[in-house]
Amino acid sequence: MDYIIHQRGYIKEMLNKYHLSKCTPVRNLKPIENRKLKNKRFDERLYRSAIGNLLYLAVCTRPDIIFAVSRAARRNTNPTLEDWYNVKRIFKYLKGTENYGIKFTRNRSLRVFADADYAGERNSRKSTSGFLLMIGSSPTSWYSKLQHVVATSTAESEYYSVSDCAKQCLWYMNFLKELNINIDCTTINVDNKAAIYNCQNQSINVKSKHIDIKYHHIRDLVKKNKIKLKHIKSENNLADGLTKYLNNSLMDRFKNNLLTKIEN
């Protein structure tokens, strides 16, 4: 028997709480840019309350909004009216997708995706790492977070993302072992060939010698056959929506790959 976990009731409560129950739904989470709104301050307490509510939802059952919510959370201090409009946009997206949840089946196949958005943070020029782990067609672990260092190339930002992803995979493999599900090697799907080469190549070169040694543990995992890397096309990387904003069609595809619509 299949099960769908959702938070439809919680979404409706949030929409009522912030007086958005009758808002017009939107299909994507791309933020607006408005100079007039950017110069007007917004209630910090109300903004943080909304972000807290959205983070709970994004971490529990809605990986499709985790990137937008994590970006909005960076504006917790001195938010502007523009920031609030973008938070309201997330609520409008949820209004149109409140009937979606995570479907769990008996499929035990493990799929892992890693991605990075190079220098996506305008102020610090840091990149965002995205990680998605799926058992069968069910997302069970995901994150979207800002990298701690400034990558100097797309390959480097992807390398950091894969390295962090490998840590999550090791933890998950140990967790599954306790449930008597033994997985000796996990394959991480990556859409950057240069990052894969750096993970598989043990030598130090001009483009990688400055990278902190803690990120090179991925090479040891590959050498020990704990982690395998597979190149896929960017359009097939399910972690893509965890690192950047998507247009309508790509957002629909991303959502439908992760979530299932509740019929009743």
Share of the chain above pLDDT 70, in %: 95
Residue 121's pLDDT band, with cuts at 50, 70 and 90, is: confident
Task: Judge if 79 and 122 occupy the same domain.
Answer: no
Across residues 157-175, what is the average pLDDT? 92
CATH number at residue 215: 3.30.420.10
* Total number of domains constituting the chain: 2
Distance separating alpha carbons of residues 251 and 253, to the nearest angstrom: 5
For residue 188, the surrounding DSSP H or E stretch is strand 186-190
Q: Is residue 129 part of a domain?
A: yes
Q: Is residue 58 part of a domain?
A: yes
Q: Is residue 120 part of a domain?
A: yes
Residue 187 has pLDDT above 70, yes or no: yes
Share of the chain above pLDDT 90, in %: 74
Owning domain of residue 55: 3-101
Task: Judge if 30 and 130 occupy the same domain.
Answer: no
- Among the three residues 71, 101, 131, which one is the final residue of a domain in this structure? 101
pLDDT in tens, 51-86: 999 999 999 999 999 999 999 999 999 999 999 999
Helix axes 66-73, 44-60, angle to 10 degrees: 150
Task: Judge if 94 and 116 occupy the same domain.
Answer: no
pLDDT at 199: 87
Max distance between CA atoms of the chain, in angstroms, equals 59
Are the C-beta atoms of residues 120 and 244 closer than 8 Å to each other?
Answer: yes
Region of residue 183 (left: phi > 0; alpha: psi -120 to 50; beta: else)? beta
Residue 215 has pLDDT above 80, yes or no: no
Task: Judge if 128 and 228 occupy the same domain.
Answer: yes
Q: Which DSSP letter does residue 25 get?
A: P
Total-model pTM: 0.92
Residue 203's pLDDT band, with cuts at 50, 70 and 90, is: low
Q: Is residue 259 part of a domain?
A: no
Q: Is residue 258 part of a domain?
A: no
